[in-house]
């Protein structure tokens, strides 16, 4: 079995895979990661682990994890299941690497656009020749709400909410309409632009806002909130000699 450790800035996503099948997943606080991993080791016969960290995993925690499993730490030097044509490969985030790897594993010989709707919205494209060409990065849902509040004098900070109408009849309604419809139109527009060049395009939507956005999009997509975890598992399998 494989253990997936996806370290964010505040939380860690832990997942256990048996082959390609997700058996367990949980989000935990970074401070409790070692206790959580010890419990997982007692419950599952885990042999290997992969660590993907966009946050801060301290050296002690990393050393302790390595005592329990054969650990692969994902970085720009990791052997990947696709050809990376990104012009600055060392700056490509490990989360984006994982997403592209998931596409390479699950949709071989296809043109695939992966949209990750999280803190930022990232767009990553891999073609049918298994070549990663790049993509785009834009502000996510919460970042847009917060930017309107932080960068203006009078606009309030609102909780995320689905607008009832395109026309906002108040300041709060206008903010909801601007943020949400702006993102939906951005995503639909990006998909349409890609499909002009790649008519058989497969589109994956993942990330924390998957469920909030997926039912509102006009474009045909596959919604999979676990796609990044699946991509990390595929990288670990790809680098295994077993």
| Packing angle, helices 33-43 and 59-68, rounded to 10 | 10
Is 95 a residue of the active site?
Answer: yes
Binding site annotation covers 119?
yes
Residue of 20, 35, 61, 95 with catalytic role? 95
Binding site annotation covers 96?
yes
Binding site annotation covers 209?
no
Binding site annotation covers 174?
no
> What pairs with residue 131 in β-bridges?
83
Binding site annotation covers 8?
yes
Neighbouring C-alpha atoms within 13 Å toward the C-beta of 24: 18
206 burial level (CB within 10 Å; 0-12, 13-18, 19+): buried
Binding site annotation covers 16?
no
Binding site annotation covers 60?
no
Binding site annotation covers 132?
no
Binding site annotation covers 234?
no
Binding site annotation covers 95?
yes
The b/e string for 105-128 (b: 16+ C-beta within 10 A; e otherwise) is bbbeebbbbbbbbbbebbbbbbbe
Residue position matching structure tokens 């589109």: 203
CA angle centred on 180, ends 177 and 182, rounded to 5°: 85
Phi, psi of 112, deg, nearest 5? -130, 130
Helix or strand or coil: residue 139? strand
Catalytic positions, please?
95
Annotated binding site: 6-13, 86, 93-96, 116, 119, 171
Annotated binding site for substrate: 86, 93-96, 171
Annotated binding site for K(+): 116
Annotated binding site for ATP: 6-13, 119
């Amino acid at each position: 079995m494989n253990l997936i450790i996806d370290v964010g800035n505040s939380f860690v996503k832990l997942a256990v895979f048996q082959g390609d099948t997700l058996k367990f997943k949980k989000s935990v606080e970074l401070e409790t990661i070692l206790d959580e991993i010890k419990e997982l080791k007692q419950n599952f016969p885990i042999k290997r682990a992969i660590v993907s960290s966009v946050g801060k995993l301290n050296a002690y925690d990393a050393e302790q994890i390595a005592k329990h499993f054969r650990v692969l730490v994902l970085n720009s030097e990791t052997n990947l299941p696709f050809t990376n044509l990104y012009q600055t490969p060392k700056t490509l985030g490990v989360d984006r690497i994982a997403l592209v790897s998931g596409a390479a594993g699950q949709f071989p010989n296809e043109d695939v656009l992966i949209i990750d709707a999280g803190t930022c919205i990232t767009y990553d494209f891999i073609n049918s020749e298994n070549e990663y060409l790049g993509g785009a990065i834009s502000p996510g849902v919460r970042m847009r709400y917060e930017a309107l509040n932080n960068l203006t004098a009078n606009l309030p900070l609102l909780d995320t909410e689905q607008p009832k109408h395109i026309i906002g009849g108040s300041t709060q309604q206008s903010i909801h309409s601007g943020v949400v419809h702006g993102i939906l139109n951005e995503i639909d527009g990006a998909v349409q632009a890609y499909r002009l060049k790649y008519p058989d395009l497969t589109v994956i939507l993942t990330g924390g806002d998957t469920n909030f956005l997926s039912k509102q999009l006009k474009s045909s997509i596959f919604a999979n909130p676990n796609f990044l975890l699946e991509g990390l598992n595929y990288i670990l399998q790809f680098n295994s000699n077993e």
